[in-house]
Chains A and B, each alone.
Chain A
Amino acid sequence: MSGKMLFYILKRALLALLTIFIVITVTFFVMHAVPGNPFAGEKAISAEAQAALEAKFGLDKPLPEQYVDYLADIIFRFDFGPSMKLRGRQVIDVIMDGMKTSAVLGLIAAAGAALTGVILGAVAALRRNSILDKFIMVLTTAFVSMPSFITGTFLLLIFSVWLGWVPANGTTTSGLILPVITLALYPMAYITRLTRSSMLDVLGQDYIRTARAKGVPGWKIIFGHALKNSLIPVITYFGPMLAFIVTGSLVVEQIFAVPGVGRAFVSSITNRDYTMILGTTIFLATLIVIMNLVSDLLYKVVDPRIEFD
């Protein structure tokens, strides 16, 4: 690893920290500006109970003080605090519990999507305008435009209710097959299209023509030059996509009753579970920042001409 690259990573890491700090700050003040509180329900609790709960979770302090306390807890103790709604549970435990399922689901779906997407995309590009190309394009257009609640519901209806091949709840391993497919379809289709257009672009480049003219075998041109160089846009897309996909999808979790972390993101906001909102936001932001950094570093692997600055 060159010194230049180390410097680059260090610089990006510092920028990442700054980004996360800004995310925390904005989220903290915005969520407190929204009306409502974590202890609200259809049946109101007594004023004394409300005061006791606010004191328990430090919500009785002035907002700037709460903010400083929160930052201090994270920086010095790596403590994200207790959930205000799920009494007795720590934010970090709730996130990690959900991540056990979401990460496995997400990684399988992302890997499957990348692999299938790149292969289909390459095939479509190499067989441009053929029936196969058109078939792949029609299919991917459909998957890109169909929201996951439609594809998910269809899959559930066909394979679980009608055929009875897999259970309709994600509490068992076989119940995770449909959620993985549902999660993978959109990125798979998107990657196929990215790969196809990028590959078509590369195939028209001079150096490919030169290679052909020099008599380099076709497979070597495709795998050694064309495919590798056409992956840059895919990598750009893959990083953040991976971050999103492993942090769960509420829609997929709802449709298939999957115990993932996606639900925590949404319910924390509905519940005004302040610590949970911050915890999940920081978690997602950190993952995205890391994934972006990783994809930037991967550019260099794929295309050594890229310089870090």
Chain B
Amino acid sequence: MKKIIALALALMMLLGCMGLASAEATSIAVCLSSEPDTLDPALNSAVDGATMLAHLFSGLATWAQDENGNLVIVPECATELTAPVFNEDGTVTYTYTLVDGLTWSDGVALTANDFVFAWKRAASSALGADYGYMFEVVKGYPDNLAVEATDDKTIVVTLANNVAYWNELLAFPTYFPVREDVVASEAWATDAATYVSNGPYTMASWSHNSLITLKKNPGYFKADTVTMDTIECYLSDDSSNMLANFENGDWLLIDDVPTAEIPNLKVNYPTEFVIAGQIGTYYVCWNVNQNLLPADSTLTGVEAEKANAEIRYALSLIIDRTYIVEEIGQAGQVPASSFVAMGMTDADGTEFYKNAGNSDEYIGYYNTESTDEVIDANFDAAYAIFEKYYEIDENGMITNAPTMEYLYNTSDGHKAIGEYLQYAFSMVGINMTLTNQEWNTFLNTRKNGDYYVARNGWLADYNDPICFLDMWTTVSGNNDVQYGKGAHADLAMYDLDLTALGYDIKVEDGTWAQTYDVLIAEIKACTDNTTRFALMHIAEDLLMSTGCITPLYFYTDIYMIDDSVQGFFSNPLGYKYFMYTTVVK
């Protein structure tokens, strides 16, 4: 009898252990977005595409988590991220050695020439890649890049000047290698059969509009560190559908949720609903060539623009950003009082946005606190400006402001913000109409400056404030405000004094081209990190002094991840990394 009991107990223990022992899944199903436009590393400009590329390819460097969980850039295909050699002409040369035994997923050896080819291809104007400008820092951009392979394992690249974020660029998908014979046919990146990569994963299948399956690449030189065998990237861009698939347990990570569901999700999935930082700013841009003064105003030229700048600043003061993020955005966004986004690092390692502006009382260029005292003070400051230029009736309403038109691209979220702004401006007597346009038309209208005031947004490509600042030079393709264009080109009203930083540059009453454009050029040529960041703060000061940029909030990246997923991380650019995950059911 004892034997039987012992046997039964042993059996129970065994069964118990089997039940308790967690089953580890070898695949993870996720949904980032719908069908990517392209998975060619040179052509991709989307965040979801970048996530997949980060699994399929290995660049010279990569993002990784250190032992404390902090994100760092570490060498990948390069043996080390070498220090630069400064040349006499101000250029900077880097020499990289590839690690031994690198191969492509089809077994062919990977050489330094593959990197050289890929970089020259991605930068070339002939390819017309969205992110071709990521190579702008390399000497000879766009069609004569100073990069060469001195032997099969050595890459030598020369930059036009020292670039603080160079290592980060090496981890950017546009810098990933591709092989000349593979990409000869443009269709190579549209079919798993012709897709040759060199990263932790290979593309096992691509069922268009449906599913991309990534399988662990046994030939990857660090294959033993990769814990997840298969990543299934389902392709859907409907956030309700994503949520349905997450809720019934089919998908373990979804990169979007319906905005209306956010309050419920926060309560029902406290550990699985994640709000992560993302380097980007949602803002309103004012066309610098549109007049905000009353029709009978006698001010013209520089005087009129100075008044307009003040009025735009005053209007920025009466916007309750806390209301926008809490009642409309609802996704943990942070009220913004400067343009360069939260998440950017300053020269001393602190956060750039915290050092923006020149106030001792608050961060940035406005006080965005939502207390009654601050709101009252902001209104008083705004009215002090309004009174200078407008007639104000006994109810405190401006009576003679021109009607403004707010342009946004068709979307419920943008509309809600537009309606809030319309309401906020109506509180001081300013009438603003709302116009929405379909996306592509909207881009065209805004780019051409055929608008009064428009919704805008900017996401960083790399952790350096210059990507928020160089877009406002006169010739930039992203200069939606129209700085230095049209009538604004001739307005000599800006000051620039860099003598304190050791420069021989002092401009009084200069045009935009004579001040801002010069300043950006100096930033790009500057090799001293501290000076360079000081210059960037000056650039942001100058930019914000125009009042044409009204920051509303800093973006966040919201996603849902199942509790069973361990070892996941994402970077500030929103790329998500699944290679080191395990799924414990």
User: Which A residues lie at the B interface, using CB under 8 A?
Assistant: 34-37, 39-53, 56, 82, 85-90, 94, 97-98, 101, 153, 156-157, 160-161, 164, 167-171, 254-257, 259-260, 263, 270-272
Chain A residues with CB below 8 A from B251, complex form: 169
Contact at A94–B208, with CB atoms within 8 Å?
yes
Report if A48-B125 is in contact (Cβ < 8 Å); known contacts: A35-B440, A256-B241: yes
Chain A residues with CB below 8 A from B142, complex form: 46, 48
User: Which B residues lie at the A interface, using CB under 8 A?
Assistant: 34-35, 37-38, 40, 43, 45, 125-130, 132-133, 142, 185-190, 207-211, 234-238, 240-241, 244-245, 247-248, 250-251, 438-441, 443-445, 447, 457-459, 476-478
Chain B residues with CB below 8 A from A36, complex form: 440-441, 443-444
Contact at B244–A161, with CB atoms within 8 Å?
yes
* Number of residue pairs A-B, CB distance < 8 angstroms: 144
Report if A169-B241 is in contact (Cβ < 8 Å); known contacts: A40-B440, A49-B128: yes
Chain A residues with CB below 8 A from B129, complex form: 45, 49
Contact at A39–B128, with CB atoms within 8 Å?
yes
Report if A87-B38 is in contact (Cβ < 8 Å); known contacts: A40-B440, A272-B440: yes
A271→B439 CA distance, assembly (Å): 8
A-B contact pairs, 28 of them (CB 8 A): A35-B441, A35-B444, A39-B128, A43-B45, A43-B130, A44-B477, A45-B128, A45-B130, A45-B133, A46-B125, A48-B142, A52-B127, A53-B128, A88-B38, A88-B185, A88-B190, A98-B209, A160-B244, A167-B248, A168-B245, A168-B248, A169-B236, A169-B250, A171-B210, A171-B234, A254-B236, A255-B240, A270-B439
Contact at B234–A257, with CB atoms within 8 Å?
yes
Contact at A255–B444, with CB atoms within 8 Å?
no
Report if A160-B248 is in contact (Cβ < 8 Å); known contacts: A89-B190, A98-B209, A259-B208: yes
A263→B245 CA distance, assembly (Å): 20
Contact at A270–B440, with CB atoms within 8 Å?
yes
A100→B276 CA distance, assembly (Å): 39
How far apart are A302's CB and chain B's nearest CB, in angstroms?
A: 38
Report if A161-B248 is in contact (Cβ < 8 Å); known contacts: A36-B443, A40-B440, A41-B45: yes
CB contact between B444 and one of A37, A53, A86, A167 (< 8 Å): that residue: A37
A170→B187 CA distance, assembly (Å): 26
Closest to B410 in A: A270
How far apart are A167's CB and chain B's nearest CB, in angstroms?
A: 6
How far apart are A202's CB and chain B's nearest CB, in angstroms?
A: 44
Contact at B234–A169, with CB atoms within 8 Å?
yes
CB contact between A46 and one of B132, B189, B240 (< 8 Å): that residue: B132
Closest to A48 in B: B125
Contact at A254–B248, with CB atoms within 8 Å?
no
CB contact between A259 and one of B127, B210, B478 (< 8 Å): that residue: B210
A82→B37 CA distance, assembly (Å): 13
Contact at A97–B250, with CB atoms within 8 Å?
no
Report if A45-B477 is in contact (Cβ < 8 Å); known contacts: A87-B37, A87-B43: yes
Chain B residues with CB below 8 A from A169, complex form: 234, 236, 241, 245, 250-251
Report if A257-B241 is in contact (Cβ < 8 Å); known contacts: A45-B128, A49-B129, A161-B247: yes
Contact at A97–B128, with CB atoms within 8 Å?
no
Contact at A257–B38, with CB atoms within 8 Å?
no
Closest to B241 in A: A257
CB contact between A42 and one of B132, B247, B248, B443 (< 8 Å): that residue: B443
Chain A residues with CB below 8 A from B208, complex form: 94, 97-98, 259
Contact at A260–B130, with CB atoms within 8 Å?
no
A254→B244 CA distance, assembly (Å): 12
A51→B440 CA distance, assembly (Å): 18
CB contact between A168 and one of B125, B235, B244 (< 8 Å): that residue: B244
Contact at A255–B241, with CB atoms within 8 Å?
yes
Report if A257-B245 is in contact (Cβ < 8 Å); known contacts: A88-B188, A270-B440: yes
A101→B209 CA distance, assembly (Å): 11
Chain A residues with CB below 8 A from B185, complex form: 88
Closest to B445 in A: A35
How far apart are A150's CB and chain B's nearest CB, in angstroms?
A: 12
Chain A residues with CB below 8 A from B189, complex form: 87-88
CB contact between B248 and one of A101, A153, A164 (< 8 Å): that residue: A164
Contact at A270–B438, with CB atoms within 8 Å?
yes
A89→B189 CA distance, assembly (Å): 9
How far apart are B412's CB and chain A's nearest CB, in angstroms?
A: 15
A176→B189 CA distance, assembly (Å): 28
Contact at B37–A260, with CB atoms within 8 Å?
no
A89→B447 CA distance, assembly (Å): 29
